[in-house]
Structure 1
Amino acid sequence: MFIKKYRKARDKNASILVVGLDSDVERIKGFDSVLEFNEHIVKETADLVCGYKINIAFYEKLGWKGYKELEETIELIKNETDLPIILDAKRGDIGNTARAYAEAYFDRLGVDSVTVNPYMGRDSIIPFLEKGHAFILLLTSNKSIGDVELHVYPKVLELARELEKRYPSKVGIVVGATREEYVSEISKRSGDLSWLIPGIGAQGGNPEILRELKGKDVVVNVSRAIIFADNVRKTAEEFRELLARQYFD
Structure 2
Amino acid sequence: MSKKGGSNHYIRMRADKRLGVVGRKSVMWLLAPNPGKHKKSESISAGVLMRDVLCRVQNLHEAKKIMNSGNFLVDGKKVKEPKYSIGLMDIITEVAEKKSYRMSLDGPKLVPKEVKSESAEKKYLKATGKATVTGGKTQITFHDGRTYLGDKNIHTGDTCVFAIPSFKLAGHLKFAPGARCLVTQGKHIGEIAKLDKVIARPGSHESEAQLSGDSGEFVTLVKYLFVVDEKF
So what's the TM-score if we normalise by structure 1?
A: 0.27
Task: Give the number of the structure whose alpha-carbon radius of gyration is greater.
Answer: 2
Instruction: With a CA cutoff of 8 Å and minimum separation of 6, indicate the structure with the bigger relative contact order.
Output: 1
Structure whose residues are more often strand by fraction: 2
